[in-house]
Structure 1
């Protein structure tokens, strides 16, 4: 059984009125919605309704209420100003993308020092109903606006596992957003089940924490990673830069792989400050027993500098752009 957060269930709106003007008009608002045959639940200064009701509320109340003192939230998430509500309506298209699973995965190679293929990162590619591409910088803000990050992250993970099965045992790096997983035992159960169903060896999957530096609840992240480790999967920390100020934190997370943020990789062969960060990162990775991976490599010079410095894995356009099928059949353990 899926939870409402991981499926595309109808959005429930909660609206909170504040201020004397708004509170005095509360009953007028309720009466109007009920005349429109919209189910509304009133609890003090708060109203609960579905999306149709929220649209009607917004249309009716724009002139009636002091909109600066009206807040709303969806699916028990954070309160937002009323002016953000139209954006929730405007991104309704994301529901259809998720519900009909209109996405595929592309493969980007991760190579060893001798440039043989070590693994592939699975990168989601989304499509409109007419087949045109939707870019990730459109997808994720839309999902966040409509409270669909849980559902989007799940469908991305499941699709990546399906595409990883085609690699026949070669490693696949699969992204996930830790803030979109509230209970690893429940939220990740379907991912584990699918990998077992497809005969994918857990050791061939590496779950990659994206937006690593933005994770506020480290204890929650540790709970997720512990769950993955117990199930036999490896995991990586993505976009690591200078934000992790202590070895203790990284050692506590125990990642198998650490990916150096591309902002410190590109032009590192010539930039002394980037070299400082890259060497500090490398020392951290080796000290805690993680495999260092530099991503975003676009030139031979940067690759050579990083390889000579001691980096073990590499990723970037220099070795291959994301493609609809894997590049090679080579495989090397690191």
Structure 2
């Protein structure tokens, strides 16, 4: 199977561009130095591309000799940042080790129906820190974003969740980041192939657009979701009130599930404003043919109110907190897949 560059966590290269006469005058000296140290990858006009191992020395050189306000860097040649932020990207290189070693595993949280029977589980990514501890997803994804590794990390989490699905019953909800998928035919083929190899019915998987993702390119998202649908998978939209502005947009996407965010769920039984949002959401979900799911439930009275209104599925600490899905023996089996 071919792996695209976006999903391959190889060595990171830095593009650095210079502005201003003072900086330009130093460029020939800098290029000679980089060549001697075997750090230079490419040089053109006012930009150099260098290996990561050169960064520490270069930053010191820039501070002493150049106008740092007129120097910018990028690790993807698209998102240019001021050079003083380069240390954040360099110091986040620990995330590469997670990707190389596939140091991801899953916690699960149950999703129940109105009778409080388990309907399925949401797979929640967790990461080993190398010292027996667990890193928070926020910390890891933030580091990956700094190093333009979101593609690789999203792929790792998807494949880990698919492997873990073999050890639970019912539906399996798996988060994914739309902007980490530039072409579904290329970026998702490994997900489809792994599910087939494990003989897991595609209909068991529900791929969920994460709540933190701002949906700007509706056509791109629709292309991804249609690819999932063609392969027999289902999908869910999370935080619909934030990311999708119209019912027409939701109708185009035809989600199988829609999740009501916890900020409208917690305390809904006693809050008329939240009740109005929840009813609106429910009507929209039913209108576009999606199963309405309320997440973040912590109190029974909120569950009862939502259930009586017509919500079909429920998730939250009241039914179960995220917990490891397997014993050490099962974890070894997953890692062998």
After alignment, is 184-193 or 29-38 more displaced?
Answer: 29-38
Contact kept, 8 Å, 1:33 with 1:39, in 2: the verdict is: yes
Tell me the CA shift for residue 75 of structure 1.
2.8
Q: By percentage of residues, which structure has more helix? A: 2
After alignment, is 93-102 or 46-55 more displaced?
Answer: 46-55
2:250 matches 1:256: no
Contact kept, 8 Å, 2:177 with 2:209, in 1: the verdict is: yes
2:156 matches 1:162: no
Tell me the CA shift for residue 32 of structure 1.
2.4
Q: Distance in 2 between matches of 1:239 and 1:257?
A: 12
Tell me the CA shift for residue 33 of structure 1.
1.9
Q: Which residue of 2 aligns with 1:301?
A: 301
Q: Distance in 2 between matches of 1:19 and 1:276?
A: 57
TM-score by length of 1: 0.94
Contact kept, 8 Å, 1:15 with 1:72, in 2: the verdict is: yes
Give the gaps of 5 or more residues in structure 1.
327-334
TM-score by length of 2: 0.93
Question: What does 1:163-182 correspond to in 2, within 5 Å?
Answer: 163-168=164-169, 170-182=170-182
Tell me the CA shift for residue 28 of structure 1.
2.2
Question: What does 1:1-334 correspond to in 2, within 5 Å?
Answer: 1-168=2-169, 170-211=170-211, 214-325=214-325
Aligned length: 325
After alignment, is 154-163 or 43-52 more displaced?
Answer: 43-52
Contact kept, 8 Å, 1:29 with 1:61, in 2: the verdict is: no
Contact kept, 8 Å, 2:129 with 2:135, in 1: the verdict is: yes
Contact kept, 8 Å, 1:33 with 1:56, in 2: the verdict is: no
Tell me the CA shift for residue 212 of structure 1.
6.3
Structure 1 pair 242–40 and aligned structure 2 pair: CA distance change class (3 A) = closer
Q: Distance in 2 between matches of 1:186 and 1:93?
A: 27
Q: Distance in 2 between matches of 1:154 and 1:125?
A: 14
Tell me the CA shift for residue 22 of structure 1.
1.4
Q: Distance in 2 between matches of 1:52 and 1:117?
A: 50
Contact kept, 8 Å, 2:69 with 2:82, in 1: the verdict is: yes
Q: Which residue of 2 aligns with 1:332?
A: none
After alignment, is 21-30 or 136-145 more displaced?
Answer: 21-30
What is the CA deviation profile of residues 177-231 of structure 1, one whole-angstrom value per residue up to 9, with x for unaligned ones? 1111111000100010000000110000001111366021111111100100000
After alignment, is 190-199 or 125-134 more displaced?
Answer: 125-134
Q: Which residue of 2 aligns with 1:331?
A: none
Secondary structure in 2 matching 1:215: coil
What is the CA deviation profile of residues 19-72 of structure 1, one whole-angstrom value per residue up to 9, with x for unaligned ones? 222122221221222233322421111111111123332221122111111111
Q: Distance in 1 between matches of 2:242 and 2:46?
A: 45
Secondary structure in 1 matching 2:14: strand
* Structure 1 vs Structure 2 CA RMSD: 1.4
